[in-house]
Structure 1
Amino acid sequence: MTLSTKSEALSALYRNCLFRSDNAADSHEHVARELSDHVLHWKRGVPDTALFKVQLNHLRIYALQYGAEVEVTPQPFDGFSLVHTSLRGGAQIECDGTVMSVAEGRTAVLSPQRSVRLRWSPGTQQFIVRVPDALMLEVAGRAPDDELDLVPGRLLPQSLGSQWDLITQSLLNIAAQSGSGDLRREWSDHFERNLALFLLMHQPPQAAPAPASALESAEPAHYGADTRPHNGGAKQMEVLLEYIDSRLCAPISLEDLARVAGVSFRTLNVMCRRHHGVTPMELLRNIRLEAARTRLLTESACSITDTALAFGFGHLGRFSAYYFARFNELPSDTQKRRQRCA
């Protein structure tokens, strides 16, 4: 079952409300104490902050909402990573130069070294797991004083979403059990280590989420040769989708896609047609159309024009035509449907 605000597994979390407040100063103080010191700017809407928490052997699990639209700028994390899953609404996250659009149901892994900024839409609620570096080092068989070489910010591929949900719901189910006996702690430790191992195993290559400036300086020969993908290009396809997800609101060229996948233009085209039935740029456009649709369905204050521009559609008429061809309705029809359901 997909993790959402209605998931039964979250009941253990919702039973432990650390605080609820409509005061901006109180909200900042409580969240900073639990997660990370940060600057908090309130935007549209009325504050309705609530923070829920479950403490496990190594992990802290939270559900957090602000009610209003907010912009959060934390300090770089010291000794931990945060994993954000959007239970309701969505967020834009910039992490060490990588920009991610975290739609409802998607998960972002954050390990910033320089800077991180999060902008939450009104009504957003996030499921957050605080993962200490010490646990990751232990699982990796490294010394406690070693440094982890983690990708600063990445979206978890949709293909891994069900596995992530299963691990987190298992932990929540353990937390819901009464008592604190050795058996419960043993199971909790098992799933906590599995979670850390899952994050380490599925970390993409550092080159995949690199900023555009780094990609533009790469040697053209890297993607000029006809490098044939192994296993039908499944691994290259996963890296490619991860890259697209991490830069939905940033320019991406065909050269960028070939370079990230490590294949020639011809092989890239064959790979995308084999796995998705479309050309590389059509795949990019479809993924951005899906993100635009999610925003129109979940964010009441967004305009069609702003949404089109945010995802790289500079011509509104063409955006509407692409949108209709993809979803058999105009963007305005989607907005009206959301208003009827509100």
Structure 2
Amino acid sequence: MLINEIASPRLSAALSHLNASSSLLFASASLEQAAGIVGRIFKPCQVDLVDRGARADVRMHHIAMGEISLNRLRYSSRVDIAPAQLKDFFLVQMPLHGHATIISEGQEIISTPQLATVINPEDVTRMRWEPGNDQFLLRISRSLLESTLMGQLGQPLNGPLRFDSAFRWQENPAWCALIGYLMECASQGLDLDKHRLIRQQIEQLVATTLLNSHRHNYQHPGQQKRAAIRPSHVRRVQEYIHAHAHETLSAEILAEIGGVSLRGLYAGFKNFLGVSPMQYLRDTRMERVRAELLTGEVNNVTGVALRWGFAHMGRFSAEYKSRFGETPSQSMRKR
């Protein structure tokens, strides 16, 4: 199928990877079978054909990437879909062709290739997908988004995170660039279970981009005063990060090391250091990359960057130059 309604040719080419047989989860004429498989990837749902006698041709592509997953789903006939509440994840639904009617928390949205929908974990949702509706679905875990948000705010959340249901995604260059990047990563066939640092970077990039690209209920928080004295749990976590930066670390692990809640960890780092613990970890790894490049014992920038969890070389090089005033290659040549 051609994606002829996507505005960006580059994005269209990238999304075409979800047509590849390698990512095909199933193709079925059985609506019951399709609903069962879709329910296992997302949540159990009731799917009914609207037009009597119509064929229930359904195709789904699926690529798991840790706390996120990339999915493409198409129903050839008109269907009514009643999913259970998502509870532990958010779902961004971006039509590539055709349209659907989404009723969520009393709001009705006609979703088209220009207007995506974001389903929040506690939303009660009903949908009607029109014939040939073909959607790209990005599943993002609730814990990933909420922990990233706490890191940005430097304080606990006083209620559930909620995004606006309607999302004009193609009008946001950062979001379109993210989708293209995700598909490029997927097309490389990189085993993210073996490159967990890279997977963690991708997860953080997705969460941060969505939080900065689309309206939600925490976009205008009150300013918080910073602590004057560094708490002991912040010092412990800093020391642990310096000793274990080469390992796969999560905010949950760091909170356990600090002996505080996840909210307490983020609040401590934000109040005293002005960054989240995960950004502090990223900064530490960047320092380790530079240290290796300056030893004179390496001759490949890409290998060092990958080893420390930096998968996007263009973004890594730009960040490195901004931080150290020279490119990674220039640092390596100093030997």
- TM (norm. structure 2) is 0.55
Q: For residues 152 and 41 of structure 1, do their structure 2 counterparts lie closer, same or farther at Cα, with a shift above 3 Å needed? A: farther
Instruction: Tell me the equivalent position of 1:257.
Output: none
Q: Deviations over 1:158-210 (max 9, x none)?
A: 521x3322101201211221342789544443333222112222443659xxx
Instruction: Tell me the equivalent position of 1:52.
Output: 61
Where does structure 1 differ by over 6 angstroms across 4 or more consecutive aligned residues?
143-146
Q: Percent identity?
A: 20
Q: For residues 135 and 154 of structure 1, do their structure 2 counterparts lie closer, same or farther at Cα, with a shift above 3 Å needed? A: same
Instruction: Tell me the equivalent position of 1:177.
Output: 188
Q: 1:38-187 counterparts in 2 under 5 A?
A: 38-44=45-51, 45-111=54-120, 113-141=122-150, 148-151=160-163, 153-156=165-168, 158-160=170-172, 162-180=173-191, 185-187=196-198
Distance 1:182 1:75 in 2: 29
2:39 to 32, 39, 50: 32
Distance 1:124 1:169 in 2: 21
Q: For residues 41 and 7 of structure 1, do their structure 2 counterparts lie closer, same or farther at Cα, with a shift above 3 Å needed? A: same
- TM (norm. structure 1) is 0.54
Q: Cα offset for 1:4?
A: 9.6
Q: For residues 97 and 3 of structure 1, do their structure 2 counterparts lie closer, same or farther at Cα, with a shift above 3 Å needed? A: farther
Q: Is the 8 A contact 1:36 1:77 kept in 2?
A: yes
DSSP 3-state at the match of 1:73: strand
Q: Is the 8 A contact 1:137 1:144 kept in 2?
A: no
DSSP 3-state at the match of 1:141: helix
Distance 1:13 1:146 in 2: 41
Distance 1:156 1:192 in 2: 22
Q: For residues 136 and 59 of structure 1, do their structure 2 counterparts lie closer, same or farther at Cα, with a shift above 3 Å needed? A: same
Distance 2:202 2:116 in 1: 18
Distance 2:24 2:119 in 1: 24
Instruction: Structure 1: give runs of 5+ residues left out of the alignment.
Output: 208-342
DSSP 3-state at the match of 1:148: coil
The count of corresponding residues between Structure 1 and Structure 2 is: 207
Q: Cα offset for 1:38?
A: 1.3
Q: Does 1:10 find its partner at 2:5?
A: no
Instruction: Structure 2: give runs of 5+ residues left out of the alignment.
Output: 1-6, 219-335
Q: For residues 132 and 144 of structure 1, do their structure 2 counterparts lie closer, same or farther at Cα, with a shift above 3 Å needed? A: farther
Q: Cα offset for 1:103?
A: 1.1
Distance 1:2 1:188 in 2: 26
Q: Deviations over 1:39-93 (max 9, x none)?
A: 1111134211011101112101100011111111111111111001101111111
Distance 1:181 1:157 in 2: 26
Q: Deviations over 1:285-314 (max 9, x none)?
A: xxxxxxxxxxxxxxxxxxxxxxxxxxxxxx
Higher Rg of the two aligned structures: 2
Distance 1:79 1:205 in 2: 17
DSSP 3-state at the match of 1:36: coil
Q: Is the 8 A contact 2:120 2:162 kept in 1?
A: yes
Q: Is the 8 A contact 2:98 2:112 kept in 1?
A: yes
